[in-house]
Amino acid sequence: MVETASPAAGATVAAIDCGTNSTRLLVAGPGGATRERLMRITRLGQGVDQERSLAPEAIGRTVEVLREYRRVMDRFGVTRVRMTATSAARDAANRDEFFDAAEDVVGVRPELLGGDEEGRLSFAGATAELDPADGPFLVVDIGGGSTELAVGPVPGRRLEPSGVVSIDVGCVRLTERFLHGDPPRPEELAQALSIVRDHIDDVQREVPAVNDAARLVGLAGTVTTVAAVEIGLAAYDRSRIHHFLLTRAAAEDVFRTLATERRSQRIHNPGLEEARADVIVGGCLVLVAIMRHFGFDECLVSEADILDGLAMTLRTG
Protein backbone atom coordinates (compact mmCIF):
# COMPACT_ATOMS: atom_id res chain seq x y z
CA MET A 1 0.00 0.00 0.00
CA VAL A 2 0.99 3.64 -0.52
CA GLU A 3 2.06 5.43 2.63
CA THR A 4 0.32 8.63 3.68
CA ALA A 5 3.13 10.10 5.78
CA SER A 6 4.31 13.67 5.29
CA PRO A 7 6.34 14.17 2.12
CA ALA A 8 10.11 14.27 2.35
CA ALA A 9 12.78 15.38 -0.06
CA GLY A 10 14.47 12.00 0.36
CA ALA A 11 11.45 9.94 -0.63
CA THR A 12 11.03 8.02 -3.87
CA VAL A 13 7.80 9.26 -5.41
CA ALA A 14 5.73 8.51 -8.49
CA ALA A 15 3.42 10.54 -10.69
CA ILE A 16 0.95 9.00 -13.12
CA ASP A 17 -0.94 10.96 -15.76
CA CYS A 18 -3.95 9.21 -17.32
CA GLY A 19 -4.47 11.31 -20.42
CA THR A 20 -6.82 11.09 -23.37
CA ASN A 21 -4.23 9.48 -25.63
CA SER A 22 -1.48 8.17 -23.36
CA THR A 23 -0.85 6.96 -19.82
CA ARG A 24 2.50 8.01 -18.39
CA LEU A 25 4.62 7.34 -15.33
CA LEU A 26 7.48 9.22 -13.67
CA VAL A 27 9.40 7.72 -10.76
CA ALA A 28 11.61 10.31 -9.04
CA GLY A 29 14.18 9.52 -6.39
CA PRO A 30 15.68 11.66 -3.63
CA GLY A 31 16.27 15.22 -4.77
CA GLY A 32 14.01 14.71 -7.77
CA ALA A 33 16.37 12.55 -9.83
CA THR A 34 14.50 10.60 -12.50
CA ARG A 35 14.55 6.87 -11.85
CA GLU A 36 12.09 5.84 -14.57
CA ARG A 37 9.89 7.56 -17.14
CA LEU A 38 7.42 5.50 -19.18
CA MET A 39 4.71 6.22 -21.73
CA ARG A 40 2.10 3.89 -23.20
CA ILE A 41 -0.54 4.91 -25.73
CA THR A 42 -3.79 3.61 -24.27
CA ARG A 43 -6.35 5.94 -25.94
CA LEU A 44 -8.49 6.26 -22.80
CA GLY A 45 -10.46 8.96 -24.61
CA GLN A 46 -11.53 6.70 -27.48
CA GLY A 47 -14.95 7.96 -28.60
CA VAL A 48 -15.47 10.16 -25.52
CA ASP A 49 -16.05 13.32 -27.55
CA GLN A 50 -19.12 11.76 -29.16
CA GLU A 51 -20.33 9.27 -26.56
CA ARG A 52 -19.44 11.24 -23.39
CA SER A 53 -18.47 7.90 -21.89
CA LEU A 54 -15.27 5.88 -21.48
CA ALA A 55 -15.34 2.74 -23.62
CA PRO A 56 -14.90 -0.55 -21.67
CA GLU A 57 -11.99 -1.56 -23.91
CA ALA A 58 -10.29 1.80 -23.32
CA ILE A 59 -10.64 1.38 -19.56
CA GLY A 60 -9.25 -2.14 -19.88
CA ARG A 61 -6.19 -1.02 -21.87
CA THR A 62 -5.41 1.74 -19.40
CA VAL A 63 -5.85 -0.41 -16.29
CA GLU A 64 -3.55 -3.05 -17.77
CA VAL A 65 -0.84 -0.41 -18.17
CA LEU A 66 -1.45 0.73 -14.60
CA ARG A 67 -0.76 -2.84 -13.48
CA GLU A 68 2.60 -2.61 -15.23
CA TYR A 69 3.29 0.75 -13.56
CA ARG A 70 2.40 -0.64 -10.12
CA ARG A 71 5.07 -3.33 -10.59
CA VAL A 72 7.60 -0.68 -11.62
CA MET A 73 6.79 1.44 -8.56
CA ASP A 74 7.15 -1.57 -6.28
CA ARG A 75 10.54 -2.34 -7.79
CA PHE A 76 11.79 1.16 -7.01
CA GLY A 77 10.29 1.27 -3.53
CA VAL A 78 7.92 4.17 -4.22
CA THR A 79 6.32 5.47 -1.02
CA ARG A 80 4.10 8.27 -2.34
CA VAL A 81 1.99 8.36 -5.50
CA ARG A 82 -0.12 11.00 -7.16
CA MET A 83 -2.29 9.88 -10.08
CA THR A 84 -4.33 12.29 -12.17
CA ALA A 85 -6.90 12.10 -14.95
CA THR A 86 -7.57 14.93 -17.35
CA SER A 87 -9.67 15.74 -20.42
CA ALA A 88 -11.19 12.35 -21.24
CA ALA A 89 -12.23 11.76 -17.64
CA ARG A 90 -13.60 15.30 -17.36
CA ASP A 91 -15.90 14.60 -20.31
CA ALA A 92 -17.00 11.08 -19.31
CA ALA A 93 -20.15 10.44 -17.29
CA ASN A 94 -18.84 7.01 -16.23
CA ARG A 95 -15.39 8.10 -15.05
CA ASP A 96 -15.94 6.49 -11.63
CA GLU A 97 -15.86 3.08 -13.31
CA PHE A 98 -12.32 3.84 -14.41
CA PHE A 99 -11.39 5.50 -11.12
CA ASP A 100 -12.55 2.43 -9.14
CA ALA A 101 -10.53 0.04 -11.32
CA ALA A 102 -7.46 2.29 -11.27
CA GLU A 103 -7.59 2.63 -7.47
CA ASP A 104 -7.81 -1.15 -7.07
CA VAL A 105 -4.61 -1.56 -9.10
CA VAL A 106 -2.49 1.40 -8.01
CA GLY A 107 -3.63 1.92 -4.43
CA VAL A 108 -4.57 5.59 -4.81
CA ARG A 109 -7.60 7.09 -6.54
CA PRO A 110 -7.07 9.26 -9.61
CA GLU A 111 -7.58 12.97 -9.06
CA LEU A 112 -9.78 14.66 -11.65
CA LEU A 113 -7.83 17.76 -12.69
CA GLY A 114 -9.49 20.82 -14.09
CA GLY A 115 -7.87 22.41 -17.11
CA ASP A 116 -6.41 25.30 -15.09
CA GLU A 117 -4.74 23.02 -12.55
CA GLU A 118 -3.44 20.84 -15.36
CA GLY A 119 -1.90 23.91 -16.98
CA ARG A 120 -0.33 25.11 -13.72
CA LEU A 121 1.30 21.76 -13.03
CA SER A 122 2.59 21.55 -16.61
CA PHE A 123 4.01 25.07 -16.35
CA ALA A 124 5.82 24.27 -13.09
CA GLY A 125 7.30 21.07 -14.51
CA ALA A 126 8.36 22.62 -17.81
CA THR A 127 9.94 25.79 -16.46
CA ALA A 128 11.76 24.43 -13.39
CA GLU A 129 15.01 24.11 -15.37
CA LEU A 130 14.61 27.36 -17.32
CA ASP A 131 16.07 30.78 -16.54
CA PRO A 132 13.19 33.17 -15.72
CA ALA A 133 15.21 35.90 -17.48
CA ASP A 134 14.44 34.12 -20.78
CA GLY A 135 10.70 34.56 -20.19
CA PRO A 136 7.90 35.30 -20.07
CA PHE A 137 7.18 31.75 -21.27
CA LEU A 138 4.13 30.52 -23.09
CA VAL A 139 3.90 26.84 -22.13
CA VAL A 140 1.65 24.84 -24.44
CA ASP A 141 0.64 21.30 -23.47
CA ILE A 142 -1.05 19.64 -26.46
CA GLY A 143 -3.01 16.66 -25.22
CA GLY A 144 -5.46 14.25 -26.73
CA GLY A 145 -8.64 16.03 -25.72
CA SER A 146 -7.49 19.49 -24.67
CA THR A 147 -4.62 21.93 -24.92
CA GLU A 148 -3.45 24.00 -21.97
CA LEU A 149 -1.73 27.36 -22.45
CA ALA A 150 0.02 28.93 -19.46
CA VAL A 151 1.99 32.17 -19.48
CA GLY A 152 4.37 33.50 -16.84
CA PRO A 153 5.98 33.29 -14.41
CA VAL A 154 4.54 35.64 -11.82
CA PRO A 155 7.35 38.00 -10.72
CA GLY A 156 9.11 36.52 -7.70
CA ARG A 157 7.37 33.14 -8.07
CA ARG A 158 9.29 31.41 -10.80
CA LEU A 159 7.12 28.28 -11.14
CA GLU A 160 3.73 29.98 -11.02
CA PRO A 161 2.02 31.16 -14.22
CA SER A 162 0.22 34.48 -14.31
CA GLY A 163 -2.51 33.10 -16.55
CA VAL A 164 -3.81 29.71 -17.65
CA VAL A 165 -6.41 28.68 -20.23
CA SER A 166 -7.55 25.21 -21.27
CA ILE A 167 -9.15 24.82 -24.69
CA ASP A 168 -11.09 21.79 -25.93
CA VAL A 169 -8.85 20.94 -28.87
CA GLY A 170 -6.39 18.06 -28.90
CA CYS A 171 -5.03 15.47 -31.28
CA VAL A 172 -7.70 12.84 -30.58
CA ARG A 173 -10.67 15.24 -30.36
CA LEU A 174 -9.76 17.03 -33.61
CA THR A 175 -9.17 13.74 -35.42
CA GLU A 176 -12.46 12.22 -34.33
CA ARG A 177 -14.42 15.38 -35.15
CA PHE A 178 -12.89 16.53 -38.41
CA LEU A 179 -10.05 14.46 -39.88
CA HIS A 180 -11.80 11.44 -41.38
CA GLY A 181 -9.96 11.07 -44.69
CA ASP A 182 -6.79 9.06 -45.19
CA PRO A 183 -5.03 11.37 -45.70
CA PRO A 184 -7.26 14.16 -44.38
CA ARG A 185 -8.94 16.13 -47.14
CA PRO A 186 -7.96 19.81 -47.54
CA GLU A 187 -11.44 20.95 -46.50
CA GLU A 188 -11.17 18.84 -43.32
CA LEU A 189 -7.84 20.42 -42.42
CA ALA A 190 -9.20 23.90 -43.16
CA GLN A 191 -12.23 23.35 -40.92
CA ALA A 192 -10.09 22.04 -38.07
CA LEU A 193 -7.65 24.94 -38.40
CA SER A 194 -10.54 27.39 -38.29
CA ILE A 195 -11.81 25.86 -35.04
CA VAL A 196 -8.35 26.01 -33.47
CA ARG A 197 -7.90 29.65 -34.52
CA ASP A 198 -11.24 30.54 -32.92
CA HIS A 199 -10.09 28.97 -29.66
CA ILE A 200 -6.78 30.84 -29.80
CA ASP A 201 -8.68 34.10 -30.29
CA ASP A 202 -10.57 33.29 -27.08
CA VAL A 203 -7.26 32.68 -25.29
CA GLN A 204 -6.01 36.12 -26.27
CA ARG A 205 -9.16 37.75 -24.95
CA GLU A 206 -9.09 35.83 -21.66
CA VAL A 207 -5.35 36.11 -20.99
CA PRO A 208 -3.87 39.10 -22.87
CA ALA A 209 -0.46 38.37 -21.34
CA VAL A 210 0.03 35.57 -23.88
CA ASN A 211 0.82 38.30 -26.42
CA ASP A 212 3.89 39.32 -24.40
CA ALA A 213 5.49 35.86 -24.18
CA ALA A 214 9.11 35.84 -25.30
CA ARG A 215 9.55 32.06 -25.65
CA LEU A 216 7.26 29.21 -26.64
CA VAL A 217 7.72 25.95 -24.73
CA GLY A 218 5.97 22.89 -26.15
CA LEU A 219 5.04 19.77 -24.18
CA ALA A 220 3.61 16.29 -24.65
CA GLY A 221 3.61 13.63 -27.33
CA THR A 222 2.67 15.71 -30.34
CA VAL A 223 5.51 18.18 -29.83
CA THR A 224 8.14 15.58 -28.99
CA THR A 225 7.04 13.48 -31.96
CA VAL A 226 7.33 16.40 -34.38
CA ALA A 227 10.83 17.01 -33.02
CA ALA A 228 11.74 13.32 -33.38
CA VAL A 229 10.47 13.25 -36.98
CA GLU A 230 12.40 16.42 -37.79
CA ILE A 231 15.59 14.90 -36.34
CA GLY A 232 14.89 11.55 -38.00
CA LEU A 233 15.21 9.80 -34.65
CA ALA A 234 14.65 6.10 -35.27
CA ALA A 235 15.03 5.19 -31.58
CA TYR A 236 13.80 7.37 -28.73
CA ASP A 237 16.56 9.43 -27.10
CA ARG A 238 15.40 11.88 -24.44
CA SER A 239 18.72 13.69 -24.44
CA ARG A 240 18.21 14.70 -28.08
CA ILE A 241 14.56 15.72 -27.67
CA HIS A 242 14.65 17.62 -24.36
CA HIS A 243 15.23 21.32 -25.07
CA PHE A 244 15.55 20.77 -28.82
CA LEU A 245 14.78 23.98 -30.69
CA LEU A 246 12.07 23.21 -33.24
CA THR A 247 11.80 25.95 -35.85
CA ARG A 248 8.47 26.99 -37.29
CA ALA A 249 9.72 26.11 -40.76
CA ALA A 250 10.52 22.58 -39.57
CA ALA A 251 7.16 22.21 -37.81
CA GLU A 252 5.36 23.36 -40.95
CA ASP A 253 7.37 20.91 -43.05
CA VAL A 254 6.58 17.96 -40.77
CA PHE A 255 2.90 18.94 -40.70
CA ARG A 256 2.75 19.22 -44.49
CA THR A 257 4.46 15.84 -44.93
CA LEU A 258 2.33 13.93 -42.43
CA ALA A 259 -0.93 15.56 -43.50
CA THR A 260 -0.47 14.53 -47.14
CA GLU A 261 0.54 10.92 -46.46
CA ARG A 262 -1.77 7.97 -45.96
CA ARG A 263 -1.42 6.28 -42.58
CA SER A 264 0.31 3.33 -44.24
CA GLN A 265 3.00 5.73 -45.51
CA ARG A 266 3.10 7.91 -42.40
CA ILE A 267 4.18 5.08 -40.09
CA HIS A 268 7.52 4.82 -41.91
CA ASN A 269 8.68 8.26 -40.77
CA PRO A 270 11.52 7.77 -38.24
CA GLY A 271 10.44 9.20 -34.90
CA LEU A 272 6.72 8.48 -35.30
CA GLU A 273 5.22 5.70 -33.19
CA GLU A 274 2.73 3.64 -35.15
CA ALA A 275 0.16 3.95 -32.35
CA ARG A 276 0.26 7.75 -32.72
CA ALA A 277 0.08 7.80 -36.52
CA ASP A 278 -3.69 8.20 -36.75
CA VAL A 279 -3.86 11.31 -34.52
CA ILE A 280 -0.53 13.07 -35.14
CA VAL A 281 -1.89 15.29 -37.91
CA GLY A 282 -4.47 16.74 -35.51
CA GLY A 283 -1.75 17.45 -32.97
CA CYS A 284 0.55 19.01 -35.57
CA LEU A 285 -2.31 21.24 -36.64
CA VAL A 286 -2.62 22.68 -33.11
CA LEU A 287 1.12 23.28 -32.81
CA VAL A 288 1.41 24.98 -36.19
CA ALA A 289 -1.68 27.11 -35.59
CA ILE A 290 -0.25 28.41 -32.31
CA MET A 291 3.17 29.18 -33.82
CA ARG A 292 1.55 30.99 -36.73
CA HIS A 293 -0.91 32.94 -34.60
CA PHE A 294 1.62 34.27 -32.10
CA GLY A 295 4.47 34.63 -34.59
CA PHE A 296 6.91 32.29 -32.85
CA ASP A 297 9.84 31.30 -35.07
CA GLU A 298 10.85 28.44 -32.78
CA CYS A 299 9.55 26.22 -30.01
CA LEU A 300 11.63 24.90 -27.12
CA VAL A 301 10.66 21.22 -26.85
CA SER A 302 10.42 20.02 -23.26
CA GLU A 303 10.26 16.48 -21.94
CA ALA A 304 9.61 17.94 -18.48
CA ASP A 305 5.88 18.45 -18.02
CA ILE A 306 2.90 17.75 -15.78
CA LEU A 307 4.54 14.58 -14.38
CA ASP A 308 7.46 16.66 -13.12
CA GLY A 309 5.04 19.19 -11.64
CA LEU A 310 3.15 16.42 -9.86
CA ALA A 311 6.36 14.90 -8.51
CA MET A 312 7.39 18.30 -7.14
CA THR A 313 4.16 18.54 -5.14
CA LEU A 314 4.90 15.16 -3.57
CA ARG A 315 8.36 16.25 -2.47
CA THR A 316 7.42 19.69 -1.18
CA GLY A 317 3.97 19.37 0.33
Q: Is the fold of 13-113 the same as that of 130-301? A: yes
Strand order from edge to edge, sheet including 80-85? 34-41, 22-28, 13-18, 80-85, 111-112
Which of 3.40.630.40, 3.40.50.20, 3.40.50.300, 3.30.420.150 would CATH assign to domain 130-301?
Answer: 3.30.420.150
pLDDT, tens digit, 9 for 90 and up, residues 78-92: 999 999 998 889 889
- State the helix-helix crossing angle for 115-127 and 306-316, rounded to 10 degrees: 90
**Facing residues of 152 across strands?**
137
pLDDT at 2 over 50: no
3-state secondary structure of 5: coil
Segments making up each domain of the chain, as ranges: 13-113, 130-301
pLDDT computed for residue 51 by the predictor: 81
pLDDT tens digit sequence for 207-234? 999 999 999 999 999 999 999 999 999 8
CATH architecture group of domain 13-113? 2-Layer Sandwich (3.30)
* pLDDT for 6 beyond 70: no
Please report the DSSP string for 100-133 in residue order: HHHHHHHSSPPEE--HHHHHHHHHHHHHTTS-GG
- State yes or no: pLDDT of 109 exceeds 60: yes
Contact (Cβ atoms closer than 8 angstroms) between residue 110 and residue 89 = yes
Structure confidence by residue, pLDDT tens digits, 45-71: 888 878 899 999 999 999 999 999 999
Q: What is the DSSP letter of 47?
A: T
